[in-house]
């Protein structure tokens, strides 16, 4: 266990951990180089998953070991994964019945949201999740109207996922902060929400909603097309009179393309020449992590605590152009890093909030991100699927019914 986790937690963004010590058969002690007040939250996510050392040491990529509710039965890359019930799974329900209830489960990889919904409506699948803004809107409207029949919906009320334009601040035209600021001033985000989403979504001024204790970006540039045109005129004077030509990368789905076209028109109206580049998921990820995109519309930053974003924002994760780096915007400096360190090391909520207020201030001034909307996740499922939204923690205490699209299948059954 110590070998399995130490390599992950002492590399890259997880530098605060120095080592893990075995206390007894069921206890590890984490020894930190520097304080990390939010470390328990990290362990509750992907970083806390324990991998058998032999799988890493012997490169057993196609071996499946673990203590989860289902043992792997079949896996076809890009198509599906199926698992059968682990009769020795460690969890029981409130009545002492061993989980999971289902004898078998299959996950199908349906990347296109429309394909996913059509499969659900046809009864080919039993449950789906989505963060497609168009779908979430329609599903929420169905819930509000009481229009649920064979298919039911659960709308996520957690912090959700922000839709944003991520700028490459390292290379390309948006390395000039004037163009990033002009792009922000060019877009009337409330009008965009009204036009595309019937006013359903909250306009985002940062990675957290207004209801969050972490606050928002107070100096997020507002709609000011005159100021946008002035900034572009200044840039043009410094660049031989040329119009700024920019590429906007977006995932190849209808709702993202509609959003990109809206942004494209707003930018054109103030003097940008804009090319929309539509890409599939894999290609989009490659452009994102290598700095190959000038600007991209992405859904991101779905965490409950700002420290979850440390590795996306810290300057140590800014890579050379064309190489892989976790700081996708390639933005940061020592002062920003210092604020992130305070937010990570302090256990004082007020001190942490003040530190992240400094981060938001920098985001508003330099615009590495153009925040668009606070999107939400939705779960859609057939009416004979039971247990959706009733997930509990191992001690039986309730938790949020769904968080960032995660569905825990151990407690589901079919009637």
**Do the Cβ atoms of 221 and 184 come closer than 8 Å?**
yes
Q: Average pLDDT of the chain?
A: 90
**Do the Cβ atoms of 43 and 308 come closer than 8 Å?**
no
Tokens of 95: 């009545």
Picking from 372, 373, 370, the residue whose alpha carbon sits closest to that of residue 137 is: 373
Q: Does the structure show a pLDDT above 70 at 324?
A: yes
End-to-end CA distance of the chain: 39
Helices and strands, counts by H and E, the chain: 13, 16
Residue 13's pLDDT band (cuts 50, 70, 90): very low
Alpha-carbon distance of 369 to 145, in angstroms, equals 35
Q: Does the structure show a pLDDT above 50 at 337?
A: yes
pLDDT single digits (tens) 74-132: 889 889 999 999 999 999 998 899 999 999 999 999 988 999 999 999 999 999 999 99
3-state secondary structure of 98: strand
Residue 318's pLDDT band (cuts 50, 70, 90): very high
Residue 62's pLDDT band (cuts 50, 70, 90): low
pLDDT for the residue numbered 179: 98
pLDDT for the residue numbered 61: 65
Alpha-carbon distance of 101 to 147, in angstroms, equals 29
Residue found under tokens 């799974």: 89
pLDDT single digits (tens) 152-195: 999 988 778 899 999 999 999 999 999 999 999 999 999 999 99
pLDDT single digits (tens) 265-314: 999 999 999 999 999 988 999 999 999 999 999 999 988 899 989 989 99
Tokens of 330: 């390639």
Cα angle for residues 308, 178, 294 (degrees, 5° grid): 60
**Do the Cβ atoms of 269 and 232 come closer than 8 Å?**
no
Contact partners, residue 161, CB within 8 Å, separation at least 6: 131, 299, 300, 301, 302, 375, 376, 377, 404
Residue-level length of the chain: 415
Q: Does the structure show a pLDDT above 90 at 41?
A: no
pLDDT single digits (tens) 202-243: 999 999 988 889 999 999 999 999 999 999 999 999 999 999
Residue 64's pLDDT band (cuts 50, 70, 90): low
Could you tell me the strand order of the sheet in which 80-85 lies? 70-76, 80-85, 104-108
Q: Does the structure show a pLDDT above 80 at 47?
A: no
Contact partners, residue 354, CB within 8 Å, separation at least 6: none
Q: Does the structure show a pLDDT above 70 at 146?
A: yes
Q: Between these two residues, 391 and 101, which has the higher pLDDT value?
A: 101
Alpha-carbon distance of 372 to 205, in angstroms, equals 8
**Do the Cβ atoms of 215 and 206 come closer than 8 Å?**
yes
**Do the Cβ atoms of 300 and 164 come closer than 8 Å?**
yes
Picking from 195, 313, 215, 322, the residue whose alpha carbon sits closest to that of residue 258 is: 195
Residue 5's pLDDT band (cuts 50, 70, 90): very low
Q: Does the structure show a pLDDT above 80 at 404?
A: no
Residue 40's pLDDT band (cuts 50, 70, 90): confident
Residue 15's pLDDT band (cuts 50, 70, 90): low
Alpha-carbon distance of 285 to 287, in angstroms, equals 5
pLDDT for the residue numbered 36: 87
pTM score of the predicted model: 0.89
pLDDT for the residue numbered 42: 75
């Amino acid at each position: 266990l110590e070998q399995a986790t130490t390599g992950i937690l002492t590399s890259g963004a997880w530098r605060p951990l120095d080592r893990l010590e075995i206390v007894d058969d069921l206890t590890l002690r984490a020894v930190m180089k520097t304080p990390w007040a939010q470390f328990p939250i990290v362990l509750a996510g992907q970083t806390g998953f324990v991998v058998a050392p032999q799988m890493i040491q012997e490169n057993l990529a196609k071996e499946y070991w673990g203590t989860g509710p289902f043992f792997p039965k079949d896996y076809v890359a890009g198509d599906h994964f199926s698992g059968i019930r682990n009769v020795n799974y460690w969890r029981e329900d409130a009545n002492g019945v061993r989980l999971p209830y289902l004898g078998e489960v299959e996950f199908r990889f349906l990347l296109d949201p429309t394909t996913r919904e059509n499969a659900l409506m046809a009864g080919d699948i039993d449950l789906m999740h989505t963060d497609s803004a168009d779908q979430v809107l329609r599903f929420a409207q169905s819930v509000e109207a009481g229009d649920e029949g064979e298919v039911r919906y659960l709308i996520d009320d957690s912090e959700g996922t922000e839709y944003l334009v991520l700028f490459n601040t390292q290379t390309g035209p948006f390395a000039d902060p004037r163009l990033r600021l002009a792009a922000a001033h060019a877009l009337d985000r409330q009008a965009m929400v009204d036009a595309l989403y019937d006013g359903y979504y909250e306009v985002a001024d940062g990675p957290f909603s207004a209801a969050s204790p972490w606050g928002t970006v107070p100096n997020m540039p507002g709609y000011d097309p005159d100021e946008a045109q002035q900034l572009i005129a200044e840039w043009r004077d410094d660049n031989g009179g040329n119009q700024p030509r920019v590429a906007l990368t977006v995932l190849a789905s209808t709702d993202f393309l509609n959003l990109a076209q809206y942004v494209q028109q707003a930018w054109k109206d103030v003097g940008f020449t804009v090319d929309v580049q539509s890409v599939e998921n894999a290609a989009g990820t490659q452009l994102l992590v290598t700095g190959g995109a000038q600007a991209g519309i992405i859904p991101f930053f779905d965490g409950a605590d700002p420290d979850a974003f440390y590795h996306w924002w810290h300057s140590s994760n800014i890579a050379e152009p064309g190489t892989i780096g976790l700081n996708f915007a390639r933005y940061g400096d020592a002062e920003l890093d210092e604020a992130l360190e305070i937010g990570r090391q302090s256990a004082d909520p007020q001190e942490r909030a003040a530190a992240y207020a400094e981060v938001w201030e920098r985001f508003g001034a330099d615009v590495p991100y153009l925040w668009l909307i606070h999107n939400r996740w939705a779960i859609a499922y057939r009416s004979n699927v039971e247990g959706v939204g009733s997930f509990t923690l191992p001690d039986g205490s309730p938790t949020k019914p769904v968080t960032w699209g995660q569905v825990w299948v151990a407690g589901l059954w079919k009637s």
